[in-house]
Chain A
Amino acid sequence: MVFPISAPKGPAMPSVISFFQRLQKAEDTASPPHAWLGALGGVALLALSVVFIWGGIALGVGSPRRLGTGAFPVLTGLALALLSVAIIFMDLRDTSDAERPDWLAFAAIGAALMVFAASVERIGLVPGVFLTVIIASLPDPSLPWRGKLLLGGIVALGCWGLFIGALGLPFDAFKGI
């Protein structure tokens, strides 16, 4: 038995995609992020713990015997505050290379979810899914526009058949714009 597995080939690309590709290349060659950036995670956690301690105190911590609504948030908030201070110091001393972020995929996947959320109740499931697929496939330059449109169409029709036809979920396939 021989199973051929084809490696992705690089087809000709329209200008929008090559723009994305150039963006990706710029990202790949950019200098690694500064060490202090790595400490931002700890800072975010510290901020979160302050919110919970503050909010917990406002809710009322009660007495040791009858812990109030805010007691558990305050206790966990205090623990997280201590831990995040330790994390900030650790990350500041950590000089190893940070992972290279893929902001393109980050933005495109986020945008795809936003488009789905914004469209599904306004224009219906089928056009909503079509748009979601197009947006989600933007960060992959190896798929030409024709392929993106085709994939969007197939997935949209598939969802129509599966979720509305077979499973009977309460979606509108199309809705007046």
Chain B
Amino acid sequence: MDIIAGFSHGLLVALQPENLLYCFIGVTLGTFIGVLPGIGSMAAIAMILPLTFYLEPTSALVMIAGVYYGAEYGGSIASILMNIPGTPSSSITCIDGYPMARQGRAGVALFASAIASFGGGMIGMVVMAVLAPVLAQLALNFGPTEYFAVILLGLVAASAVSNGSPVKGVAMVVAGLMLGTIGVDITTGAERFTMGIPELRDGVSLVIVAMGLFGVGELIVSIKANASGAHQNQIDYRQFYPTRAEWKAMFAPILRGGGIGSFFGALPGTGQTVASAVAYAVEKKISPARARFGQGAVEGVAVPEAANNSATQTAFIPTLTLGVPGSASMALVIGALMIHGIVPGPRLLVDHSDLFWGLVASFLIGNILLLILNIPLIGLWVRLLQIPYKYMYPTIIVLICVGVYSINNNVFDVWLTLAFGWAGYLMRLFRFEPAPLLIGFVLGPMMEEQLRRAMLLSRGDPSVFLTRPISGVLIVLTVVLLVWSILSALRAKRRMRGAMRSAE
């Protein structure tokens, strides 16, 4: 009953004209960015972050969330039409979406992906409304020791499970934690690593780190990728609406995909890409149409889209109830809330229930808006793909420059963004993922504060982290996860080497 009361209250909040407007702006911008290959939702969220400083916290959160799941809708458009994933998590959609487009069924594929995204989003929303209050209730008894352990688990999960080397991922998280110490130490008031630069006294701005690593860094990568991208010359829509048989074929896969997606979305570290990959793999095993998978099965488009969209909604569960983001985008959500003085955690549901339920209800509204944007207005986005990238990226660079400069009207911020942009490109070159660094950067100050408090309470005895039951379990879980991910990475490498040897 509580949930229904909360949700209907949230609906009132989300339907306020202001929130409705920002929800609309968010999902439109998200779709726009999602359609463009090469730049993901991270860059988009980083770009609107300065704007959210001036909004009400609820409007800000609704808009950021809109960009986040809007990008999932948009990402599938480029996947289906051009075989280039607009966002990393829609890469699975290419497998069946692009063959469908080649067979002249692009319209059906786009329709199926929009409907599946909507279905997945709704499943994710319900899971969030039911699960988040339970988790928050559980976390209310957490002290600093438990918090430190939860943050540690979240950081390790987010870095070790991500694609690429787990050791490099953890190294990036630690580097992010270190980056977070720059500025004035809130406990003692001493300056740390500011090198006497007054602009660094308040620490490095989250917007600059995100805009540099993701905006500028990704843009440098995308120039070459888009210049040589295989553009399809003609897209033919013989038919847009699925047949009755196709509707029926999609229904169960959407439910399964949404279920799998909401599970992986809520786990820290896995996120949409893992969710859609697992959902597709499961569906390929159990679907009656499995023989057609990879050759343009409508189920193969519906499943990953339902999964990645439900995962985008449930990713907010650990972020808002524990304050532990599972991905870099969620770290930005935490950063945006903290700028408004709201600390995500179990108290958030009680102290800011407007914000929480408003967000949940905005998922419903945003997904309906996206359905409108993606079904009747699909032609608009297809036309967007026709704009050559050579006009696009210089414009985006200017928007980044103006955005960063306008935070403080300070040129220093532009220089710092340049430094992070170059660093972001070099990190990709040396196969370091920038996402864990951002997560570490956001959680670093929180982690340090909890560590200091826990040590003070235990009178300097570090063994409390293991002897207190909840934190002990969490620490053991962290170690197990770390060992398991390193072992499985080693095994994958050995298998690859073996495959290469047998190929020679």
Contacts and interface: CB of A to CB of B under 8 A. Distances in A.
B474 interface: no
A116 to B, nearest CB: 4
A83 B171 contact: yes
Given A102-B223, A116-B398, A52 B193 contact: yes
Interface string B266-295: 000000000000000000000000000000
Q: Is the interface of B mostly helix, strand, loop or mixed?
A: helix
Contact of B227 (A52, A86, A113, A140): A140
A1 B386 CA distance: 15
B223 A64 contact: no
A120 B429 CA distance: 31
A132 B174 CA distance: 35
Interface stretch (B87-95, B139-147, B245-253, B402-410): B402-410
Interface of B: 81, 107, 165, 167-168, 170-171, 174-175, 177-178, 181, 185, 187-188, 190, 192-193, 216, 219-221, 223-224, 227, 231-237, 240, 379, 382-383, 385-386, 388-391, 393-395, 397-398, 400-402, 405-406, 409, 411, 414-415, 417-418, 421-422, 425-432, 444, 448, 451-452, 455-456, 459-462
Contacts of B190: 59, 69
Nearest to B51: A167
A90 B52 CA distance: 42
Nearest to A6: B386
B390 A133 contact: no
A76 interface: yes
A1 to B, nearest CB: 4
B402 A67 contact: no
A16 interface: no
B212 to A, nearest CB: 9
Contacts of A83: 167, 170-171, 174
13 contacts: A1-B240, A3-B382, A3-B383, A41-B427, A41-B432, A67-B452, A72-B451, A73-B192, A87-B167, A120-B401, A132-B397, A152-B394, A155-B398
Contacts of A169: 402, 406
Contacts, number: 211
A57 interface: no
A159 interface: yes
Contacts of B232: 5
A146 interface: no
A101 B429 contact: yes
A69 B185 contact: yes
Contacts of B422: 106, 110
Highest count of chain A CB atoms <10 Å: which of B237, B425, B430, B462: B430
Contacts of B388: 8, 142
Contacts of B418: 110, 113-114, 117
